[in-house]
């Protein structure tokens, strides 16, 4: 599972760089657009960075627990962490152009996936021998 997290983390950080280039070369320039659209681009861009860093760190430091129930919690948390960048990348490409008036369920789903994965990994590691 560590290798999967590491791979997804690196790919997500590359996607972060790509979305940065998209924002830099956007036509019309982002600074010429409304505040709400600029906010949507920047926030979705930063969300992608956060999910990439989280997966990269799990890829570097994840230690499988001995107890079966802890490993299952870790596995479930990992599924959430791996789903988050996918949802957040879709959010960058679908939610940004419409500003705050558009449905933001993709980014909400991605952020809650990060939260859920964090909680599950925390419970799996809490007071583990």
In this predicted model, what pLDDT tens digit does every residue of 6-61 receive, in sequence order? 999 999 999 999 999 988 988 778 777 778 888 888 899 999 999 999 999 999 99
* Strand ranges, E, within the chain: none
Q: For 59-113, what is each residue's pLDDT tens digit?
A: 999 999 989 999 999 999 999 999 999 999 999 998 877 777 677 889 999 999 9
Classify 75 as helix, strand or coil. Answer: helix
Q: Token digits for 8?
A: 């997804």
Classify 91 as helix, strand or coil. Answer: helix
Check residue 107 and give left, alpha or beta (phi > 0: left; psi -120 to 50: alpha): alpha
Q: What is the pTM of this model?
A: 0.89
DSSP per-residue string spanning 94-116: HHGGGGGGS--HHHHHHHHHHHH
């Amino acid at each position: 599972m560590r290798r999967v997290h590491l791979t997804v983390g690196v790919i997500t950080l590359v996607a972060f760089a790509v979305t940065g280039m998209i924002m830099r070369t956007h036509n019309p320039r982002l600074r010429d657009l409304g505040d709400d659209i600029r906010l949507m681009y920047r926030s979705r861009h930063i969300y992608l960075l956060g999910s990439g860093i989280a997966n990269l760190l799990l890829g570097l430091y994840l230690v499988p627990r001995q107890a079966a129930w802890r490993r299952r919690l870790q596995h479930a948390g990992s599924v959430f962490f791996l789903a988050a960048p996918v949802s957040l990348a879709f959010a960058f490409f679908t939610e940004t152009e419409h500003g705050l008036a558009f449905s933001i369920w993709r980014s909400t789903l991605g952020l809650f996936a990060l939260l859920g994965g964090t909680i599950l990994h925390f419970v799996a590691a809490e007071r583990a021998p």
